[in-house]
Structure 1
Amino acid sequence: MTDKPHLSIVIPALNAAQSLPSCLAALRLAERAGLPHEILIADGGSSDSTVALAKQAGAHIVTAERGRGRQLRAGGQAARGDWLLFLHADTILAGDWPDAIAGFIAGPANRQRAAYARLAFDDTRPAYRLIAAAATLRSRLLELPYGDQALLIQRDYYRSLGEYAALPLMEDVALVRRIGRRNLILLPGVTAITSAGRYRRNGAARRVVRNWVCLGAYFLGVPPERIARFYP
């Protein structure tokens, strides 16, 4: 037995059979590090082998209404752990993240804070390194990490904030704004390696501009339902 808090890793997924195995493989480090945990896949109605792959890896399946905000919310509500780690299905945690997480959750003051990882992409070309560096700068200066950087938060604190909102977009921004700038901490030595697929499909510069336009619209009060129409 161990006195380490139990961790629930919540992963929203929708037809993620291509990326999910790598995401789950990286989580095996928790077992080797002796970090008690459970993995919950909040599935939004996948028609591929996502659910089968998740079950094969020993994950629990949470059936949710399609939409990342709804899936994150359903996964968080089903979680049994004292701490929650929200992670995207196309993201791989790199570095000694179990030790970093154990260190964070050992701090009593962190029960009223949240932590996130440094962003990197699975494409090492200069354009993607620059985008990732800008995301790190945005996170530090504005305290505005996005969902693809993972989020570690104590369960009761998360629920006191109202949980992830069932939004079609900006559910991550809405939550970190409620957490507040002073209560967001960068996990040392941890990198969230995220797929650059959307940037490759739409063009890196175009995607960056679109992201900032959507974020600006949200801050100006445009409903996420309207913003989602411009964010394929």
Structure 2
Amino acid sequence: MNSGLSIVMPVLDEAETIVSVLQGARRACPGAEIVLVDGGSTDDTVAKARGLPDLVISSPPGRARQMNTGADAVFGDVILFLHADTQLPHMAEGAILDAIASGADWGRFDVRIEGRPAILRLVGPLMNARSRLTGVATGDQAIFVTKAAFVRVGGFSDIPLMEDIDLSKRLRRISRPACLHSKAVTSGRRWEANGPLRTIVTMWALRLAYWLGVSPRTLAEIYGRLKAR
């Protein structure tokens, strides 16, 4: 029987990690509905996932679009948006439902970045501290929200970057997030691929530009050019 929690996972060419993440989500949230939203994978992501989620649906590519598509399809009253490179903490389902029962409209977990560079051990604590201070969450922190609050703020904006920050800012007008101390573990692959220091500086610069009013589409173009170097 569904607990009232639904997990929406947007994916695109995630064959290497999809099985372990789905299995981890099922262990952490045994009563949850799991909806996989594929954005047009060209590898065997969907084939490897077969039988693990409750529902697999297709969507035009773009994380915001995929997550909105998944949110429209779920049955649960609470939605957890989970990245395909993030493992949920033990007993995540109970922690989420307890937070909602205590009056939270939305929230997120603390995060730990997993990877070889030693500096990544500092990234997670800094992200968690910043989130507590600002009331803003990132997708790496496994954002959860009541469906009522999600609908009330209009879901994710159809933007190519900063969709998690944008959603947080609108949800924050309703209430502050529940900041759960249990840690989601997310892959440091993008930090390793582009260099940890370069990635940290780039992401902080992009967020600053976003707060100063630069459009997400412009930021996505800048980010794409930086990644291509």
Contact 1:88 1:147 in 2 (8 A): yes
1:132-185 deviation per Cα after TM superposition (whole angstroms, max 9, x unaligned):
111111111112221111111110111101101111001100000001174211
Aligned residues: 223
1:167-209 deviation per Cα after TM superposition (whole angstroms, max 9, x unaligned):
1001100000001174211124x21111101100111111011
Query: Which amino acid in 2 is paired with 1:21?
Result: V
Deviates more, 1:41-50 or 1:177-186: 177-186
Give, in whole Å, the separation in 2 of the partners of 1:21 and 1:145: 26
Give, in whole Å, the separation in 2 of the partners of 1:184 and 1:105: 10
Which of 198, 212, 218 is the aligned partner of 1:206? 198
For structure 1, the residue ranges without an aligned partner over 5 or more in a row are: none
Give, in whole Å, the separation in 2 of the partners of 1:72 and 1:161: 14
Give, in whole Å, the separation in 2 of the partners of 1:128 and 1:41: 28
Contact 2:22 2:53 in 1 (8 A): no
The structural deviation recorded for 1:125 is 4.4
Give, in whole Å, the separation in 1 of the partners of 2:211 and 2:201: 15
Q: CA RMSD in A?
A: 1.7
Which of 79, 85, 88 is the aligned partner of 1:90? 85
Change (3 A) 1:124 1:115: farther
Matched, 1:69 2:69: no
Change (3 A) 1:31 1:203: closer
Which of 21, 24, 44 is the aligned partner of 1:23? 21
Contact 1:29 1:98 in 2 (8 A): no
Deviates more, 1:218-227 or 1:10-19: 218-227
Which of 106, 116, 119 is the aligned partner of 1:127? 119
The aligned counterpart of 2:44 is 49
Which of 69, 73, 79 is the aligned partner of 1:78? 73
Matched, 1:222 2:185: no
Q: Secondary structure of 2:168's match?
A: helix
TM-score by length of 1: 0.90
Contact 1:5 1:83 in 2 (8 A): no
Runs of 4+ in 1 over 4 A off after TM superposition: none
1:30-75 deviation per Cα after TM superposition (whole angstroms, max 9, x unaligned):
565xx3x211111100011111122231431121111111111111
For structure 2, the residue ranges without an aligned partner over 5 or more in a row are: 225-229
